[in-house]
Amino acid sequence: MLPTPTKYTLVAGAGEGQTPLNAFDRALLESGAGNVNLIRVSSILPPGARYVETLPLPPGALVPVAYGAIKSSTPGDRIAAAVAVGIPEQGFGVIMEYSGYNYREEAERIIRQMVEEAFAMRGMEIKTYMVKAVEHRVQKAGAAFAGLLMWY
């Protein structure tokens, strides 16, 4: 099997570029996840995974990540991305992602409800809650990214 991640951190970033993909690249760089190969996953924090402030990711490494992201080429758009994780007393955590045309505070409010709903669905209780969010006002082409990076 593929090895289950044992560490994680939350990151977020936003930025501008000449194209939406370059803006996304900038957002990744701002978040600290710009020089790796992100593999998008949905979206469970493995039991026992340990939070770390920063992950020393080797360039080009294959890095599992649950993320929310949004790109826009409409000047003036306000965009936001958020990622959050709820962790119970014991066992796995549940990650939720959000992106939309919104303020950061609103993104954080919505994603909190999403994590709460995910826990209610599973009959679980949140012990620890973590969130990372970012907002951005588009100038030419902008992107916002928030992700929970998993590592070993």
Which residue numbers are catalytic? 37, 42-43, 97
User: Which tokens go with 114?
Assistant: 């999403």
**According to CB under 8 A, which residues from 21 to 40 bind a copy of itself?**
21-22, 24-26, 28-29, 34-40
- Map the footprint of a copy of itself across residues 47-66, applying CB under 8 A: 47, 49, 58-62, 64, 66
Query: Whole-number minimum distance, CB 75 to a copy of itself, in Å?
Result: 18
- What count of residues does the chain have? 152
Which two structure tokens, joined as six digits, stand for 26?
A: 């900038």
User: Do residues 20 and 143 make contact, with C-beta atoms less than 8 angstroms apart?
Assistant: yes
For residue 30 the two structure tokens come to: 């701002």
Residue 43: closest CA among 109, 111, 108 = 111
Residues at the interface with a copy of itself (CB under 8 A): 1-5, 17-19, 21-22, 24-26, 28-29, 34-47, 49, 58-62, 64, 66, 91-92, 94, 96-98, 110, 113-114, 117-118, 121-122, 150-152
